[in-house]
């Protein structure tokens, strides 16, 4: 085993911070024994906070309409090939009802930035879910809004908000998004959400076009400033009907190492092993948990629309097997020696 690799992992674990050099070391050339050392350190760290519990979130992808045109995303407005759909409030509620039946205590409402869902409609959906399932958390993941809108959703009962910052480097951000979007506003949204009182999640795609060690370094600095409750990362995966169709996919290896680094830097953070990771590698989600992740987000959307919420090519759990995700994931978690928590799975500082 490389002494330098081990020492670096130990230092990050101890200091809960990382320098550019340390990041380059941990993401650079390493033997499988080096890697395993990093993953084991992250696993142990997660275990001290969460024991061997994994939190499940039921994901409801309720609209794939989007007014944005992000270059990486399959549901960008410019993609004429995407078959669009919206779920009604009744359909969303029925997804949550079946989710509650299956034991989920968090519902994540995720969608494109779809103007059909006005603040009034969003608030009405949030209120209805909280009324029927007062013991459950509601997470919103519906993009950039104004402070006032975020406040309305919070007052309606939303508990958490996911908004990946995508990259903290504003020049890099400009290479991934059309000029009407700005990295500065994106980061402001996250600060607003935190100030309002949400449990907040930020995050990035690993291996997005133009990403470098330096942009990842900036991401980590931003995260240290924001102190998010959740961090969502997964590999970038090309979608055939986007401008990034020919870009190489992000690496599973790098994603796993970054998960481990995040766990060492933020011991208490909620860290999902994402669907993108499970798409890039059939055992990606299990590997993610064994590298320090502690959250899984199985799909609760109606099977009839799952094949339409395609941010990238090859997405898992969209076919015939889709109705079985709940059972499938529970089995996968148990097979690696973990267990599904039955609590809401709030951040330790919120619980
Ligand atoms: N590959 C991987 N992740 C993607 N996302 C969007 N498009 C892709 C893609 N092609 C991620 C973004 C977004 C989240 C909902 O999904 O980070 O914030
Ligand atoms: Fe969807 Fe296994 S998690 S089929």
Task: Tell me how many degrees the CA angle 224-30-221 measures, rounded to the nearest 5.
Answer: 10
C-beta of 300 in contact with ligand 2 (< 6 A): no
Q: For the chain, what are the domain ranges?
A: 3-8+18-340
Are 137 and 159 spatial neighbours (Cβ–Cβ below 8 Å)? yes
pLDDT digits (tens, 9 = 90+) for 183-220: 999 999 999 999 999 999 999 999 999 999 999 999 99
Low-confidence stretches of the chain (pLDDT < 50) are: none
Q: What is the pLDDT of residue 351?
A: 77
Residue 322 has what pLDDT?
A: 65
C-alpha 295/C-alpha 308 separation (Å) is 24
Q: Where does 3-8+18-340 sit in CATH, by number?
A: 3.20.20.70
Rounded to two decimals, the pTM is: 0.98
Q: What is the model's pLDDT at position 324? A: 83
Residue-wise pLDDT tens digits, 281-321 = 999 999 999 999 999 999 999 999 999 999 999 999 998 76
143, 187, 234: residue to mutate for ligand 1 pocket, most atoms within 8 A of CB: 234
- 213: how many CB neighbours lie within 10 A of its CB? 13
Q: How far apart are CA 133 and CA 33, in angstroms?
A: 46
- Two tokens, residue 167: 């990259």
Q: Show the beta-strand stretches assigned E in 34-143.
A: 53-56, 58-63, 106-111, 137-141
Task: Give nearest CA residue, ligand 1 atom 3.
Answer: 236
SS3 206: strand
Q: Which of 282, 297, 316, 319 to mutate to test the pocket of ligand 2 (most atoms within 8 A of CB)?
A: 316
């Amino acid at each position: 085993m490389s002494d330098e690799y081990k020492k670096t992992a130990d230092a990050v674990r101890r200091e809960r911070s990382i320098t550019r050099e340390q990041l380059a070391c941990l993401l650079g050339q390493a033997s499988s024994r080096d890697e395993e050392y990093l993953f084991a350190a992250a696993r142990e760290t997660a275990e001290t906070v969460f024991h061997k519990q994994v939190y499940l979130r039921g994901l409801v992808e309720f609209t794939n309409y989007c007014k944005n045109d992000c270059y990486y995303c399959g549901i960008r407005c410019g993609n004429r090939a995407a078959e669009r759909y919206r779920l009604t409030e009744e359909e969303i509620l029925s997804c949550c009802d079946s989710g509650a039946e299956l034991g989920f205590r968090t519902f994540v409402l995720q969608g494109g930035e779809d103007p059909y869902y006005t603040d009034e409609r969003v608030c009405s959906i949030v209120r209805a879910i909280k009324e029927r399932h007062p013991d459950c958390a509601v997470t919103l993941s519906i993009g950039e809004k104004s402070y006032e809108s975020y406040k309305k959703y919070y007052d309606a009962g939303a508990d958490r908000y996911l908004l990946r910052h995508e990259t903290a480097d504003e020049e890099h951000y400009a290479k991934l998004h059309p000029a009407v979007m700005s990295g500065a506003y994106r980061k402001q949204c996250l600060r607003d959400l935190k100030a309002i009182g949400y449990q907040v999640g930020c995050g990035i795609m690993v291996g997005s076009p133009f990403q470098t060690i330096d942009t990842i370094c900036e991401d980590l600095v931003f995260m240290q400033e924001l102190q998010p409750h959740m961090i969502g990362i997964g590999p970038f995966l090309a979608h055939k009907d986007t401008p990034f169709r020919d870009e190489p996919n992000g690496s599973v290896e790098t994603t796993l190492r970054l998960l481990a680094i995040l766990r060492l830097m933020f011991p208490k953070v909620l860290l999902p092993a994402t669907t993108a990771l499970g798409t890039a590698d059939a055992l990606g989600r299990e590997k993610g948990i064994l590298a320090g992740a502690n959250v899984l987000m199985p799909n609760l959307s109606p099977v009839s629309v799952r094949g339409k919420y395609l941010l990238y090519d090859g997405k898992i759990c969209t076919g015939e097997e889709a109705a079985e995700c709940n059972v499938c994931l529970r089995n996968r978690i148990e097979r690696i020696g973990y267990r599904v928590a039955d609590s809401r799975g709030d951040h330790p500082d919120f619980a």
